[in-house]
Amino acid sequence: MIKTGDQLPDVTLYEYNNDAGICAIGPNAFSVRERCKQKKVVIFGLPGAFTPTCSERHVPGYVAQAQALFAAGVDEIFCVSVNDAFVMNAWGNSLQVGDAVKMIGDGNGDFSDALGLIQDLSARGLGRRSLRYAMVVDDLIVQHVAVEAPGKFEVSDAASVLAALR
């Protein structure tokens, strides 16, 4: 499992944006390491798009705290889930995240797996999913990581990450 002081793994993730009504070509692949190089990035992961806690509390909390996180030196905020980039984009649009949070698809779970933060929810019909977590990465090095216990939402919220940055 990823821990403070570890380097971010080099995995390809996917993002889809349909800016200003222009028909976008995508999903757009990017290297996590290239995107996070020389930046401070908050990455939070969650079990799935359109799920209750994720939609009602986790993502909205980061949208609400985005300006405070940016003021604390964060360059980008990533929401990562084991969903495809199209689903993540539709979910972000439904939650009106705007430019505050980048909705990132980890469709095959490769990033979550590389972090050691994958769980098998097949018994509940959900397949392999990400654990709920949040981390602060500064120039590819994990400065803070908080992983939730199963069924909990106590340490990966935006307010907790903001407190860790101070």
**Of 23, 36, 54, 79, catalytic:** 54
Annotated catalytic residue 54: yes
Q: Name the maximum alpha-carbon separation found in the chain.
A: 42
Which burial class, exposed, middle or buried, applies to 144 when counting CB atoms under 10 A from its CB (0-12, 13-18, 19+)? Answer: middle
User: CA–CA separation, 103 vs 114, rounded Å?
Assistant: 19
Torsion on CA atoms 140, 88, 130, 50, rounded to nearest 10: 140
In sequence order, the β-bridge partners of residue 7 are 141
In sequence order, the β-bridge partners of residue 145 are 135
Catalogue the active-site residues. 54
